Amino acid sequence: MASVKVNYLGVLSPIVGKENEYIEIEEFSTLRDLITVLGLRYGERFSCSLEHADGTLIWADVAIVVDGLPVHDAMFRLAGKKEVQIALIPMIQGG
């Protein structure tokens, strides 16, 4: 098992009701696995902020940073360290 600290930024923080939390994941979990767990925990509003209707991640509207580096692959493995830090950063739209 590994511990993942998830930081919720922008509109995600009010959706989940917190700024961050620790999640325990299996050793070979991927970013996709973590997003699925969070979607089940926080429901459709959370999932719609990160995923298209078909379940693919919305890379154009959200930045995902793992241990300080941007990640663009849902199959990125979150294993190998005792603790991993993730930031979910929805893009700000305006005009």
Least confident of 34-38, 57-61, 64-68: 57-61
Average model confidence (pLDDT) for the chain? 88
**Residue type for 49, please?**
S
Q: Is 25 helix (H, G, I), strand (E, B) or coil?
A: strand
Dist CA 28 CA 47 (whole Å): 22
Residue 25 scores a pLDDT above 70: yes
Q: Is 12 helix (H, G, I), strand (E, B) or coil?
A: helix
Dist CA 57 CA 34 (whole Å): 12
Residue 77 lies in a domain: yes
What is the predicted pLDDT for the residue at 49?
86
Task: Report the CATH number that the domain containing residue 81 is assigned in CATH.
Answer: 3.10.20.30
Q: Which residue has the higher pLDDT, 53 or 33?
A: 33
Residue 42 lies in a domain: yes
Question: E strand or H helix at 50, and its extent?
Answer: helix 31-50
Our measurement of the distance from residue 9's CA atom to the centroid of its chain's CA atoms, rounded to an integer in Å, reads: 10
What is the predicted pLDDT for the residue at 58?
77
Q: Which residue has the higher pLDDT, 79 or 30?
A: 30
